[in-house]
Structure 1
Amino acid sequence: MRILIAEDDYPGRKFLAQFMAAYGDCDQVVDGMEALEAFTLAMEESRPYRLICLDIMMPKVDGVKVLKAIRNFEIQQGILPEKRAKVLMITALAETGHVHQALEIGCDGYVAKPVGIAKLTQILAGLGFSP
């Protein structure tokens, strides 16, 4: 399975990449623009990401805007909801308004920083993923 991790904080990105390696092949980007480019390229290559982890607060384009662009692209391409990428938002506790917005747009779950292994494992299992 292909996984995209979009996180501007290096320690957070490194932790997620190490943890997610048990679930699949991870690509890492540092801002929202790179996330959109990686997603688009993966779709063009017919090698889509099954899981996308988006930090809400990122440089250039924030995670909520990236999520909206991803969901709009999937709708335009006629991708059925069950075939769409699962999107997990990563948030600081103070960003609850952004979390509600992301849930309305179509994220599949969220995890608060600092990210805990047990909680992340539980969320991924709920999305149908196992190591």
Structure 2
Amino acid sequence: MPLRILIAEDESVSRQVLMKHLAPLGQVDLALDGHQAVEAVFASLRAGQGYDLICLDILMPNLDGRAALTAIRGLEEQNGLPLGHGAKIIMTTALRDAGSILGSFGQACDAYLAKPVTREGLFRQLKALGLVAE
């Protein structure tokens, strides 16, 4: 079954890399900042679909990825999806410091992938999350 995927990334090269790797897995929607990501999740939940996977950059304009992560998890909860039953969210970011990593997991991300994102690293996470077969 095809996945419903949201890529939230303001930087065009990173967005293109993720799109190249994820497009074969299903329908991919794009958001250029955190506000657009939250709006896309809201619309998808309202339509009764939701996302299977969200790749969320941390350093984005308007609303950063960690604030978007908190908002997305709140929307899922409001729509009857308790923690662990919503989208799998992978933080894709250049930030490698312990505070960013631990903070993201504390806000209920499912995985953390430091840039530059490689196909191997991405698919290792997708397999660990049960989104693609071994």
Q: Report TM bin, short chain.
A: over 0.9
Unpaired runs of 5+ in structure 2? Answer: none
Residue 54 (structure 2) pairs with residue 52 (structure 1): yes
User: Under a length normalisation based on structure 2, what TM-score does the superposition of the two structures give?
Assistant: 0.91
Unpaired runs of 5+ in structure 1? Answer: none
1:125 aligns with: 127
1:36 counterpart letter in structure 2: V
Q: 8, 11, 32: which is aligned to 2:10?
A: 8
2:66 aligns with: 64
2:71 counterpart letter in structure 1: A
CA 33–77 in structure 1, closer or farther in 2 if over 3 Å, else same: same
Q: Deviations over 1:52-107 (max 9, x none)?
A: 00001000000000000111122233313342111000111444422211101100
CA RMSD after TM alignment: 1.4
Residue 42 (structure 2) pairs with residue 40 (structure 1): yes
2:100 aligns with: 98
Larger relative helix fraction: 1
Of all paired residues, the percent bearing the same amino acid is 40
Shift, 1:112, TM fit:
0.4
CA 5–43 in structure 1, closer or farther in 2 if over 3 Å, else same: same
